[in-house]
A and B are shown apart, each in its own frame.
Chain A
Amino acid sequence: MKTETAVMERFVQIIQNNEELSNPLHNRLQVYRDMVHSRFVETIENIYPILTTVLGNAMMHNFIREFIAIGAKTPFIVKMAEEFGNFLRHHPKLKSTLFLEDLLWLEYGELDLLSRDFKDIQAQLDWKKRYRLSSSALVRNVSYRVHAGEFESSCASSVLLYYHFDEKRVYFEEITPFALQLIELLERMTLERSIMVLAKKYELDAEILRESVEQLVVKWCHQRVLIKFTEV
């Protein structure tokens, strides 16, 4: 198998790199190079459509060529997009690209949630229970107001992605720092106790706070964003 291995290695090397081929229009090696490139492009651009628009097709295709040369590791093509995202995160040419990390998270997050399987568990409101983010939801801090389009002034905000069980699609929602803190607290303490902590921190009346928190938690339970701590 020594010769065979050497032939296969050289073949893959030609596909992966951009060395000039003789008579490229009629060179069958070019057919393979194009096929592999198209396969990566189709998958990546489907998963990162906004990022592709932001970077432009030409630049995106160059990054994809570089990525092919390094090589994807997963046998599952849909998971390759995650490896590509990590490749871009560490690419020196993209160090100063604004919002790159957030865009990668948002676009891959949507695919990730659409690719997962979940148990459809709807939690009920219970003041004596702890809650946690379900596997059908993702949350991330950002430093600007997404909906207001205020991308230049620094402002704490968070983005919630969740899978809608009835519509079978992923929704995006901007949430306040207060809402994010509530999610974080609920992982560590009961709903009752979380309200007390927040009321103290923001110097608010606990009874008034209770009403608005109740609405929020009921909504999140309905959306399956939150589940009770013991539920899997």
Chain B
Amino acid sequence: MKNIDGCGIGLRREFLEDFSALKKKPDWIEITPENWIFTPHRYRDTFEQIMDSLPVIAHGVSLSIGSPEAIDKSFLGDIKTFLDRYRIQHYSEHLSFSTLGGMQMYELLPLPMTRAMVIHIGDKVKQVQDFLQRPLILENASYYLAPYNEMREIDFINEIAEYADTTLLLDVNNVYVNGTNHGFDPDDYIKQIPPSRVAYMHIAGHLEYPDEVLLLDTHGEAISKKVWKLLERTLKKINAPVMIERDNNIPPLKELMGEYKKLSKIVAKRGAK
């Protein structure tokens, strides 16, 4: 990916000022455009100063690429204006749906994994790319039940990437969570992803429900040892930039930067940085 290399972190309003004051910043940042499209006055100067100083990836949450209805052009127009304004070349979204019949759920809901859905999403990806004049990077989302499947998740993702000729955002935590919840081997899953398809990677925390075999992809906890280990094994196969994604229960930046340092060391070990 152009200008994106090494390790990144998801920028959040909760630590915007502290981030701005950091002497040694991450190699790059990821932002959620929906949270910054209407940049309020109180954050604008700091946000723009950060945006001017680092390479940026936009990671959306409301595109709802799997919805049966057509892409919301008005929403996409807002996204394009934002990406153009800050000259952001890289835009990623989730392989899921959050809107149905114009009703918003604000959560990433699971898709039926079928051939028809592969074509449906693949065609929509092409439309989005044409509209935005940028590639759309797709992320493997976590899911807690599979409502109607004809194929395995890994085949579903690979076929979409192939059909739309696009790249993937590989969320290593999501692979681990889904593997545990649905009984597949995360390493085997990662082995089946063509390394050249991976644009960048996420690593995040999850919550373990002790009463049952269920991991919740909260992105609100520290990264677990098992996910760190999975990342180490993944990096032996896939040479792509990696970042820490924390969406909920945001800790002080110092704590996140502790994880960032750990990530940097792991990435440096593989010799990719």
Contacts and interface: CB of A to CB of B under 8 A. Distances in A.
Interface of A: 1, 3-5, 7-9, 11-12, 15-16, 26, 28-29, 31-32, 35-36, 39-40, 43, 71-77, 80, 114-118, 120, 136, 163, 165, 168-169
14 contacts: A4-B111, A5-B68, A11-B109, A12-B105, A32-B107, A75-B104, A76-B34, A76-B38, A114-B40, A117-B41, A118-B41, A136-B41, A163-B41, A168-B42
A53 to B, nearest CB: 24
A77 B214 CA distance: 27
Contacts of A75: 34, 62, 64, 72, 75, 99, 104
Given A4-B120, A8-B97, A28-B145, A72 B103 contact: yes
Contacts of A117: 38-41, 44
B212 interface: yes
Tell me whether chain A's interface is mostly helix, strand or loop, or mixed.
helix
Contacts of B105: 12, 15, 36, 39
A11 B146 CA distance: 11
Given A168-B41, A168-B42, A4 B104 contact: no
A29 B145 contact: yes
Interface residues of B, number: 40
B112 interface: yes
B41 A36 contact: no
Contacts of B112: 3-4, 7-8
Contacts of A36: 105-107
Contacts of B272: none
B103 A4 contact: no
A5 B212 CA distance: 31
B151 interface: no
8 A-B pairs with least C-beta separation: A71-B103, A168-B42, A28-B145, A75-B62, A5-B68, A4-B112, A7-B148, A28-B144
A138 to B, nearest CB: 15
Given A75-B99, A80-B104, A114-B40, 9 more contacts: A1-B120, A4-B112, A5-B68, A8-B66, A8-B109, A11-B110, A12-B103, A117-B41, A168-B41
Contacts of A39: 105-107
Given A115-B38, A116-B41, A165-B41, A73 B104 contact: yes
A114 B34 CA distance: 16
Contact of A77 (B99, B106, B114, B212): B106
B183 interface: no
Nearest to A30: B144
A36 B96 CA distance: 14
A92 B39 CA distance: 36
Interface string B25-50: 00000000010011111101000000
A80 B107 CA distance: 14
A73 B62 CA distance: 12
A6 B87 CA distance: 39
Given A1-B116, A115-B40, A35 B107 contact: yes
Given A26-B212, A75-B62, A80 B106 contact: yes
Contacts of A116: 38, 40-41
B102 interface: yes
Interface in B95-129: 97, 99-107, 109-112, 114, 116-117, 120
Interface in B132-171: 144-145, 147-148
Contacts of A114: 40, 42
A32 B144 contact: yes
B216 interface: yes
Residue among B42, B114, B216 having the largest count of chain A Cβ atoms under 10 Å: B42
Nearest to B212: A26
A4 B148 contact: yes
Interface string B199-235: 0000000000000101010000000000000000000
A81 B149 CA distance: 35
A12 B42 contact: no
Nearest to B105: A36
A77 B116 contact: no
A169 B214 CA distance: 42
Contact of B117 (A1, A31, A136): A1
A169 B43 CA distance: 11
Contacts of A11: 109-110, 147
A122 B226 CA distance: 56
A15 B104 CA distance: 12
B120 to A, nearest CB: 5
